[in-house]
Structure 1
Amino acid sequence: MNDIIETFIHDHLFLHLVLIAVSMTAIIIAMGIDFISGIQKAKQRGELRTSKKYKMTATKAKKYFNPFLTLVMIDLICCIVIPFPVFAMLWAAYCAFCEFKSVREKSWEKAELRKAEKTMSIIIENKDDIARLAAQILFETQKEKEDKNDTGTTE
């Protein structure tokens, strides 16, 4: 019985642990590449690199590694049935894909998105003024039409 358990631990669990370590390393490397790329893009755009923006990497790591560790536990529970840690590897592939897409985004596209965000926030903040201005323009247009109709019928 001990031989069976030792063989299982040595062959099967060792493979699981190696693949889990490779998956975790892939996530860390992808996050590092994205971090460096983000710093370079911020320099190109002339943005400040503040501690708040650096902390976003820690937040991202938390978003990646909490589900990853949960999936690792599921993989370890299922290791008798599944020959390798499928769930953890799929999650690592997804995280690496997200980081790849983030690195591939052009810095000017991000700048345009931020500019559009600022414009929309200004519009939302000043929606009452915009509505009042639109109503005033409509009222003046309607008044001009009525004035033209009044002068056209009296002559």
Structure 2
Amino acid sequence: MKGLDSIILVLWVILAFYVSDLLLIVSDLWSGLRKAKQRGEIRSSYGLKKTVDKIARYFNMLFAITLIDCIQMSVVYILNNYYGYGIPMLPVLTALGSVFIGFIEVKSIYEKADDKIKIEYEQAAKLVAELAKSKTNPEELAKAIGDYMKKESEESE
């Protein structure tokens, strides 16, 4: 029965990691919406879509390392219950991954709205530089804009 109790405890710990990361992501979304309102931006479904994509990427990574932790904890469970070792069953990789995600989200929450505006200005300057490289031919300008937008969308994914 002691082994079952430790498995249930570990499951609760893993759940706590997942929930805390989800709460931090929601806090970052709320913070982003406040900053967008402060800058006078229109809040659209694009930002919400980015948040959903971020949740999927984070939780895919977290789920993969949790599976690795399950294997590691299974070995520890066998060592403890059948061979008399006293190794604690801890989801170490899940804890590290969760802390990593939490650090990123806290950093994002505390970014100033002005920093985000500077990034947007830098992106606009890059676009102007790309356009300056092109000739005055409208077809080349359109192609340069399309190439730049495609490159930016690939980099943001």
- Structure 1-normalised TM-score? 0.75
Q: Which one is further off, 119-128 or 66-75?
A: 119-128
Segment of structure 1 superposing worse, 22-31 or 74-83: 74-83
- Which structure is richer in relative contact order (CA contacts within 8 A, separation 6 or more)? 1
- Give the count of matched residue pairs: 124
CA distance in 2, matches of 1:19, 1:124: 50
Letter paired with 1:70: A
Q: Percent identity?
A: 29
> 1:125: how far off?
2.3
Within a 5 Å distance, the mapping from 1:87-102 to structure 2 comes to: 87-102=93-108
Question: Are 1:9 and 2:4 an aligned pair?
Answer: yes
- Alpha-carbon offset, residue 103 of structure 1: 0.7
Deviation at 1:7, TM superposition (A): 2.6
Q: CA deviation at 1:77?
A: 1.1
What is the TM-score of this pair, normalised by structure 2? 0.74
Q: Which runs of 4+ in 1 moved over 4 A?
A: none
Q: Which residue of 2 aligns with 1:21?
A: 15
**Contact 1:15–1:84, Cα closer than 8 Å, also in 2:** no
5+ residue gaps, structure 1: 1-5, 131-155
| Distance in 1 between residues matched to 2:57 and 2:131, nearest whole Å | 31
For 2:125, the equivalent position in structure 1 comes to 119
Give matches, 1:65-84, under 5 Å.
65-79=59-73, 80-81=75-76, 83-84=89-90
* Structure with larger Rg: 1
Secondary structure of the residue that 1:90 maps to in structure 2?
helix
Instruction: Give the Cα separation in 1 of the matches to 2:2 and 2:131.
Output: 66
Gaps of 5+ in 2: 77-87, 137-157
Q: CA RMSD in A?
A: 1.5
Of 49, 54, 59, the residue aligned with 2:43 is 49
